[in-house]
A and B are shown apart, each in its own frame.
Chain A
């Protein structure tokens, strides 16, 4: 992994890092991938990918409304809100 790849990865993960820390981060990631890469030694073709241990199927509930309107409670947790809206910085330049 080089600095450009890390920069792309950081953006993909929506994380920021100082460029001076890049070598340290790359080293840490590479160490982990070195361990993970041991998977390559295995012959896995006969095994179908497994998503969920119990292979559960989805369930659905009755389409019924409830009287629990928590709009105010949820807005209270917002770092910034105005009336019924979450407020964010400018999106369109």
Chain B
């Protein structure tokens, strides 16, 4: 069910908050084999639901009053274990609440659990989680995408209508596409990163998952807030994204990439993309072809900058103040053993790459150069937005793929992010939505907008969803 329906049913007293929560846990139990949750909070959720029902008048007008929600286990929740998908934080109980979860709590939502994810958000298939992989609700041998795979699968399986995720290189949009739901990565700085466990601080951004643009707009209204506790949080004009859905933005100029058929995108994804273009024309919009031959260099830049920032951010996990600690005789062994035992292979690999590119002698050759590529990508987008209102492209190269995929290309998994990474490097907002079906699996496409144009890309997605049914399909 969509957020809109759930909220209406709560407001009209058709279904109580308690009944909603009970329904969620029924579905959680029916879908145990999907491994969506790292922790569930049935007792607390029921208690909060009863409190909401008993104080109905205080909650009925709140944007998420009585609505069950699942949070990615990257957001610190005070007094509740927050693992970030890692053995390192298996028993970590944060003494504070993230701004995102606090905003959601204040808006009347009911947290039912914390969702599984790639370890420290490093992965595109959810297979790097210490707690085992998440299964895509569309197929028992398929990945849900990553790193916010648990949150995406949760909405796709119909357990909740909304969930939270984070997107550093595509970690909201790629799983949204692979699970057939809608997911938005906001402009860098729109949503506070306070209490969100850091991976790559200059790109990490939290955002909403929902069935449709309406759900994403409403949840974004709640998540976005200026926060003094995050020095990179942007001050902006207060906007109601939900209200913007009804606004008329007129006929738009939409940028599409020249030579997109040469990027290695599957025929099925390309076909769905072309169909969506036809629909956009029917809605009265027009296309402008853009030359973005530098697109693929985004991956190179990302896989230098993200590991560099990760190696720095993850240096705090030393076994002293919190997290896993190995038995050791001296302090150096303590660091080495703690980190080798606590981190999985992918995280260790990225820490090593990061340490390497930041080390004396390689800094200019790798890190500096990657930052120049980042500027180049940003400049490219800046020039695009002189002639178009937004850019339209597929979200992924292909549909949901098999777990433990063997590939002749060792970097195949990294290339998964080809079409999502540029928005992260430039800090731009982008929304992925279901735009077709092939092989009984969903396909996804995305709109990338100019800075703080979430209102526009949500509005256009909503307009498309008014004339299509892809977002209503369920596994």
Contact = CB atoms under 8 A, between A and B. Distances in A.
| Chains A and B form a bound pair | yes
Interface of A: 9-17, 25, 28-29, 31-40, 42, 44, 47-54, 56, 58-59, 61, 70, 73-74, 76-80, 86, 88-91, 93
13 contacts: A10-B336, A11-B336, A13-B339, A16-B337, A44-B369, A52-B427, A54-B187, A70-B95, A76-B93, A77-B321, A88-B320, A89-B328, A89-B334
B438 interface: no
A15 B304 CA distance: 19
B275 interface: no
Contact of A47 (B319, B376, B427): B376
Which applies to chain A's interface (DSSP): helix, strand, loop or mixed?
loop
A18 to B, nearest CB: 9
Contacts of A11: 336
Given A14-B315, A29-B352, 12 more contacts: A14-B318, A15-B340, A36-B300, A39-B370, A47-B379, A54-B187, A54-B234, A54-B427, A56-B234, A88-B320, A89-B329, A91-B331
B402 to A, nearest CB: 21
B54 to A, nearest CB: 30
Nearest to B343: A15
A37 B297 CA distance: 10
Interface stretch (B102-110, B353-361, B457-465): B353-361
Given A39-B301, A54-B451, A89-B334, A28 B410 contact: yes
Contacts, number: 168
A17 B349 CA distance: 11
A78 B319 CA distance: 8
Contact of B189 (A44, A56, A91): A56
Given A56-B234, A89-B328, A90-B330, A48 B188 contact: no
A26 to B, nearest CB: 10
A77 B376 CA distance: 43
A15 B375 contact: no
Nearest to B357: A36
Contacts of A90: 329-331
A47 B383 CA distance: 14
B257 to A, nearest CB: 18
B373 A42 contact: yes
A29 B429 CA distance: 31
A13 B352 contact: yes
Contacts of A93: 330
Interface in B144-185: none
Contacts of A32: 303, 349, 353, 410-411, 414
Nearest to B92: A77
A44 B336 contact: no
B384 to A, nearest CB: 15
B331 A59 contact: no
B67 interface: no
Contact of B232 (A17, A56, A88, A89): A56
B74 to A, nearest CB: 17
Contacts of B411: 31-32, 34-35
B375 A48 contact: yes
Interface in B368-424: 368-376, 378-379, 410-411, 414
